A and B are shown apart, each in its own frame.
Chain A
């Protein structure tokens, strides 16, 4: 039971919003110590897997070129391009990207997307631009909400697309695990059962994107009537009664 102390530390730390790096390090040390390792061994294990998992950081190599392009107006251009397409709405832009991401991931092309190389420089400005060209300047909170949705479609698309491809890590992991347990299956037999969930994911999240469009329209209609009402009140108020 004591080995679960790390889980507890993580939950409490994240809820209290203590710096996650610190929370994770403390949870790791506590778990190792509770599991009966000595401090030196725990620090060694921490260091070893920190170094071994450096590959997850390789994605940051895109930052110099993305920054360079942003400095030259890439985001502004992406916004403008979308504003010119009259049928484009935030929800439709995000839906199109999700379809593309899910489709390419199903063909094994999981590297055709990602938050650093596609979402920040291209997708998020496009989704914001589509709303701006319809509703004018957006409130900061709406802008942030749209960006969060842009990050989410990348995740939903790739998670529920990649398992249809037979050579992806998760399918190979399942195959290997079942083999160890005496069940022999071909990757295609597994991948085919990822299809129903893939369709469900597209329908569920796609519906939510269409609802996002309706919400944005409602929000801007309300903002406009609010402004109009404020103008009316200002007009009818007696002069000098500010």
Chain B
């Protein structure tokens, strides 16, 4: 059965390759540090499933230390010659360049559909819980194969290019995972309970409107802290949504919880803790300010939060 482990090995090979290419890139003054950072990361993919948790934790801490003291760097980017070559290549290949790029979403969709019922001797070929991710992995391999066959670049080009892009993303590539670990520790220490207790104790909730506002704004704020509406939803709904908005004031539970979750999503737009949506793309698009994407999203997040609050108040108590 193909499971995530297969993808982790691929990741390990790729990130390991990135570490090696870094080691060999002489014009980057921080190449040893980069190689160490990506090298450790590669280890967590290649053997992570078999490592004792304590060792994995130490590796994660080591990565944070390597990234923050002295920092990572990347080799000199683009020059005029590179740009001219790319423009010439763009003219030569034209719209055919889109074929491998669009192969990724196409094969991901197709794979998700095809892998679903696929069985050999009654055993599913692909782990049914991980269909989309496995399909994504297969899609990237297919796109890479098509790209290589079509463009015929030097054999090492994919690893070199992965090095270029991964170095430009830098530590942000690892942040979503680190935040997931933080979320787990928050949960173990009972941070959610403390927050909802505080909200319940300090805010007067004697009208339906006050309860609705506290619930929607609380969902957004708590999502901003946790970086994830899924973590905020059970806490805020058990603390305020169900006992007050639904039971005391008679709100419709379907409307309250659906719009409550979406209020959390407004918070996701506004927080660096949702790193994979907000910080990673800023790094990936080479924006100098890591909060640039959040800044663009904040007005929409606030307006939509107000809209959600109004919608819940108007729809839930009919």
Contact = CB atoms under 8 A, between A and B. Distances in A.
Interface in B70-129: 71, 86-95, 97-98, 100-101, 104-105, 108-109, 112
A64 B157 CA distance: 8
A117 interface: yes
Contacts of B133: 55, 58
Contacts, number: 406
B292 interface: yes
Contact of A159 (B63, B153, B268, B308): B268
A208 B40 CA distance: 43
Contact of B257 (A147, A148, A155, A177): A177
A55 to B, nearest CB: 6
A227 B2 CA distance: 61
Contacts of B54: 40, 43-44, 47
Nearest to B252: A193
B205 interface: no
Give the interface size bracket for B toward A: 35 or more
A94 B188 CA distance: 41
A152 B67 contact: no
Nearest to A175: B257
Contacts of B297: 152, 155-156
Interface stretch (A17-25, A85-93, A216-224, A234-242): A17-25
B292 A148 contact: yes
A202 B92 CA distance: 38
Contacts of A28: 178, 181-182, 185
Interface of A: 1, 3-4, 6-7, 10, 14, 18-22, 24-25, 27-28, 31-32, 34-37, 40, 42-78, 80-81, 109, 111-113, 115-122, 124, 144-145, 147-152, 154-156, 159-160, 163, 169-171, 173-174, 177-178, 181, 183, 185, 189-191, 193-194, 196-197, 200-201, 204-205, 208
